[in-house]
Amino acid sequence: MHDRNMAFVIAFLAIGFVIAIGFWPADRTEPGELPTAGFRRHHDELKRVIHRWTEQVDDLHDASPARQIEIMEFSMGFLKQHVMIHAGVEERVLYPAVERAAGAALTAPFREEHRILERRVRELEAVSEPAAFCHKSHQLAGLLTAHFEVEERVLLEVLDRRMTPDRFQREVWSRMVSELD
């Protein structure tokens, strides 16, 4: 159990570090890649951290009361400081780029999903019972993962067809990375 705790802490700190220095491993697109390849790698990293987060939440059942509080507080910090900030940056940068390419109707469901995610994060924050927190965390993780997958299959596909890698880097990805600083 201690190794899983340490792995999660290291992953969480690594994300904080890359945000603080303004660099994501996905900062640049390699020759021959889709324009949105860097963004997709960023989503992949978030999915890996979400998976580690749910493993951490699974430890609530066997943890001491003090450790349960620590895991729940850490969870809320991760969700608010990383996941919801990511969603806000998408709405300010990514979604307008998609709207310019394909119209606002395409991003409306994704904006609504963000409202649902925000509401679920607030609901989770109000939960103090470990089993319920674990259950709601897994529900939220499923919503997040599904949201990322559909976003990649719909919104990023539009930008892959309509933008060059350089244009996506300049108009979308570099702006998103700078807002995550």
Q: Please calculate the CA angle 168-43-11 and round it to the nearest 5 degrees.
A: 130
Taking all residues of the chain, what is their mean pLDDT, rounded to a whole number?
A: 87
Q: What is the pLDDT of residues 106-117, one digit of tens each?
A: 999 999 999 999
Average pLDDT, stretch 94-112?
96
For residue 5, what pLDDT is reported?
52
Residue 155: name the closest of 166, 167, 168 by CA: 168
Furthest-apart CA pair in the chain: how many Å? 52
The domains found in the chain, sorted by start residue, are: 2-180 (1.20.120)
Percentage, residues of the chain above pLDDT 70:
83
